[in-house]
Structure 1
Amino acid sequence: MKRHYYFILAGLITLTGILSFTVKTQSDTEAANKNSMGKEMAYAETVSSANFISDSAKIKEKEAELNNELVKLNAELEALESEVEVVHEEAQASYYHDKFNGRKTANGAVFSNKSYTAAHKTLPFGTKVRVTNLVNDEEVIVEINDRGPFIKGRQIDLSKKAFMDLTHNRSRGILKVKVEVLPEDYEEKRIELQEELNTVAAVNGLDLNEFAL
């Protein structure tokens, strides 16, 4: 009977030891897993933080490049504008009567009141000029293809189309304007630079008013 008791007791002790070992092993495994997960999370946070810092640096670097490009393009626009020559700071502009439609101008071209052309006493034919209404700052670009006007006090005669683009008051026949001669290929260069400015500003989310001429 005692022998059976000892066997039973020994079995219980062995079983207790196995259970204790199993529990300890599971506990150690869980602790190791938690420690490993903690390290992985810490590593992931470190990597994420490093990536964020790296991305922020790249963004700042890109913004700086875009800002430099904007400054460069604006400087080119200003340089182009500096080539514009003021011929008349203040002049009187009139426009052609419709009776001149279909007639030849001084350079041999057929006149049309729907074209952007003008007459001037001395500027060479083919010269592109910018005419600005001094009252409302509206402006047009026209090409000199005729001589005139021959009425005292008037410096430039515009096609009706060009004249009407400068004013909302269609009853006026005379406007006070500024007349400027444009450099060669001015319109093409300005459009190209302005498009580049718009593209760079859109990428950077900037307000182009800061760079407006």
Structure 2
Amino acid sequence: MARARYIIVLGPDGSGKTTVADQLAHTLDIEGHSVTRLNFSFGILPSISTMLRRTSRSQKPEGTRNAGMVKPLSVSRASLLACWYGLDHMLGHVYLKFCPRNEIIIFARSYHDFLYQRAYINLPRIIPRLFIALGPKPDLLTTPLRDPNVIHVQKPELTDVEIKQQYTRISKRMHRYRYFSGVDATRGIKQTVLSLRALAKI
């Protein structure tokens, strides 16, 4: 194997991406695999809020109604974030190079979020696509597919309309990448993880 394995689970709030990523990591760890769980970025560069010593603005607690219905960022601010974290994504090549070859790195959320999340609707897509092209390619990029109405009832951070729109954006914008595949997440977490493992061949 040329380098560590690299798997991304993404999707709308409430779709189960964190639960799936955590369960996959836990299952592989029990089996004796070396696993690293990350969220959103490789963490090579500091977050912009850390550099500017800013604390996040008060927001609705996670899980509350419409907590995820944020106002889309301006073009300039979204572009700044996309470029900064795009550099971190590119440096992922270095991160993977120094990981043990048998390591399995599992992300819940990733730089690919810039292509579909509500906050980045105003972002010119050429920016994240450029950094994705220059960054390391995951072995699998997947999203748990569930009924938007069921997601909204269980975790109403996004409206059912926004969940549907995010799934649509994911479908249209991720299918250009050969490593993308949706996974049926309607049959429970264990079956979802089994399906994901089959796709990733682990």
Q: TM-score, normalised by structure 1?
A: 0.21
Q: Which has the higher helix share?
A: 1
The higher relative CO (CA closer than 8 Å, separation ≥ 6) is in 2
Structure number, greater radius of gyration:
1
Q: What TM-score does the superposition give when structure 2 sets the normalisation length?
A: 0.22
